[in-house]
A and B are shown apart, each in its own frame.
Chain A
Amino acid sequence: MSGTTQPKPLDGTGWIGKVLAGLILGATLAIGLMGILGLLFHADAQLKTAASQILRWFPGPVWGLVVAFSFLFRSPRHAWLTLVLVNAVVWVLFFLLHGVMA
């Protein structure tokens, strides 16, 4: 195994906070990304197009991956801050796109 590059090795401390961040903000992130992709691929709100039906399988895996990797954050605080930031970027982008395309 390679030597540790960080001063403090990762362990299970604060896992509840990290997992909660992954669970809550991972869900909003996955939905935001689905929204952006839906706008880009012209998925319709009537759910008739293939794009809108395929995108239904998109948030689940993304959410699962975010939860699974949320253990890697250095601290719960770090987890919440990072995910809030990413969420903000994604949702701002979504509403910009929504405004432009509507």
Chain B
Amino acid sequence: MKIRGDVVRLYRNVHSWVGIMAGLFLFIAFYAGGMTMFELPLGNWASRTATLPAPVPADRLSELVQKAETADPSMIANHTVVLHPDETSPSSLMWVVSSDRDHGPARTVYAGLAADGTLVTQTRTPSQVGYFLNILHQRIGLPLNREYGRLIMGIVALLYAVALVSGTIVLLPSLVRNLFAVRLTENLRRMWLDFHTLLGVCSLPFHIVMAATAAGFAFHQPIMALEKTLFLPAVSTHLPQKNHSHQGDRPQALLEPLAIVDAFRKQVPGLEPDTLAYSSRGGKLSLHVTVQDAAQISRRPDGGYGEVNPYTGRLISTDFLPNHQKPAFQALTLIYALHFGTYGGWLIRWGYAVLGFGGAFLFYSGNQLWISSRRRRDRSAGLAEDSFGTRCLSALTTGCMIGCISGVSAVLAAAPFLPEGGHYQAAEALFYAVFFICLTVAACWGGTRSLRPLITAAGVLTLLIPLTDMTRSLTSGEVTSLAASVDGVALVYGVVLIVLALRKSPHRRTEIRIPVTS
């Protein structure tokens, strides 16, 4: 493909400046984003579930709900019946007792029946560690509130889009020639360039999808406001439905859980209800029957849902029910699924995690590339030391990026010992403490000199995860397969980090001697 030389040169400049501006934020967004692929399992891992009330048999579900309602009449407005309790979600009934939704999973009552038929409950907050990682991802590492965080994220998404377009333009003319030519030479700059190119090209579709969907999520609120003014109000085709709901105004008894399940199975054969989630908005109770099928394209990691009338069991809406969506809603779900990796089961989620971490490394390599070319220019200009800008970026790159890795590992390592598996504020405080310590070390020692000590620290913190978790498991005598797999992954990852830090590098000294050619 032919692109004029001056255009390529112009966009090479654009790419490096935009990349530098967005790279640090995007590293954190992608590293934490890769972690969010496992938000639910990580949350379950951090919450200790063994002490929760045991599940009740299906035929006693309605007895359980009735007894819970007698004990706490307000629970009806916001409760969930778990039809298939398992290791990570063992109680058959739970309801939320606080409305603080900003910090993730809210304070929840878990209920079960004792041997003599009396109601047993336990109240606690599920671990908010997984949610903290998600918010870290959404706020690109800045401790901002929803409003400003979203806007900053939008600006970064815009920079990201410009970096993608410019990077593609730079690469197109020499794509085939340079793609698989990874030159593991003595020249550090060459090596970073080749890695950066290979990673960038191989994950380009993923990055295009992420940039496009992220911009949508970031500008959600302002765009919604604009849509309301630009679009025409809908022609009211819902009149018959309105009459119908009017009839439902007179107080009725809720249908029993098993009756709902039966009605649901009759209306949508082939889908197995997973939970019955009741919620109320404006005094009107609504029911989402969620179905869990990892291989389906679904809007959220916890599966798709159908909206059901809680009094009659009649299916009201299949807009977000897998296999029963209209094409337009299927397309809408696909937008969510493409961003969250919620299609094609665990293989895709692992693939997304790898692409996410790969993306983080892409930004790391981009910054390293920028630093090495700046250094080369400084040397050719006769400077013996790095210029101020190079030193700053070098320290920021090492401090922020390794600080992010260390901070996330520290939060996960502390989770087994934090009360209730880690509240949001605790996770946030710990993360930023570790993050700023790393940043300070990098600022004091310089980016290059602090790199190895900081990666070692990140590796040690990562190795603490299996250590603290095993300690917890041994003291409580409960070892789950989930805990074992989290520990295993953390162990391998920590060892890799330490090996990377201790590996001998022949590059640094030789690079300075390389004659400047251009």
* A interface residues, Cβ below 8 angstroms from B: 1-2, 4-5, 9-12, 31, 34-35, 38-39, 42-57, 59-61, 63-65, 67-69, 71-72, 94, 98, 101-102
* A53–B332 CB distance below 8 A: yes
Secondary structure of the B contact surface, majority rule: helix
* Sample of 8 A–B contacts (CB below 8 Å): A2-B2, A31-B230, A57-B335, A59-B215, A60-B212, A64-B161, A64-B211, A68-B164
A12-B10, A50-B332, A56-B220 are contacts. A67–B234 as well, Cβ < 8 Å? no
Secondary structure of the A contact surface, majority rule: helix
| Nearest A-chain residue to B9, judged by Cβ | A11
* B331–A60 CB distance below 8 A: no
- B2 contacts across to A, CB distance below 8 A: 1-2
* A34–B4 CB distance below 8 A: no
- B328 contacts across to A, CB distance below 8 A: 49-51, 54
Stretch at the interface among B221-229, B390-398, B453-461: B221-229
User: Considering the chains assembled together, what is the distance between the CA atoms of A91 and B298 in angstroms?
Assistant: 36
Q: Say whether B158 faces chain A, with CB atoms less than 8 Å apart.
A: yes
A4-B4, A65-B165, A69-B165 are contacts. A46–B234 as well, Cβ < 8 Å? yes
* B interface residues, Cβ below 8 angstroms from A: 2-11, 13-14, 154, 157-158, 161-162, 164-166, 173, 211-216, 218-220, 223-224, 226-234, 319, 326, 328-329, 331-332, 335
* B10–A60 CB distance below 8 A: no
- A71 contacts across to B, CB distance below 8 A: 10-11, 14, 166
User: Considering the chains assembled together, what is the distance between the CA atoms of A2 and B233 in angstroms?
Assistant: 52
Beyond the given pairs A12-B13, A35-B231, 20 more chain A to chain B contacts, judged by CB atoms under 8 angstroms and listed by A's residue number, are A1-B5, A9-B4, A9-B5, A34-B226, A45-B233, A46-B233, A50-B328, A56-B216, A56-B224, A57-B215, A60-B158, A60-B161, A64-B158, A64-B212, A67-B162, A68-B161, A68-B164, A68-B165, A68-B166, A71-B166
User: Considering the chains assembled together, what is the distance between the CA atoms of A69 and B168 in angstroms?
Assistant: 12
User: Considering the chains assembled together, what is the distance between the CA atoms of A97 and B64 in angstroms?
Assistant: 57
A54-B332, A59-B223 are contacts. A65–B161 as well, Cβ < 8 Å? yes
- A94 contacts across to B, CB distance below 8 A: 230
User: Considering the chains assembled together, what is the distance between the CA atoms of A48 and B320 in angstroms?
Assistant: 13
- B13 contacts across to A, CB distance below 8 A: 12
Query: B224 is contacted by which of A10, A47, A50 (Cβ under 8 Å)?
Result: A47
Query: A64 is contacted by which of B9, B215, B226, B232 (Cβ under 8 Å)?
Result: B215
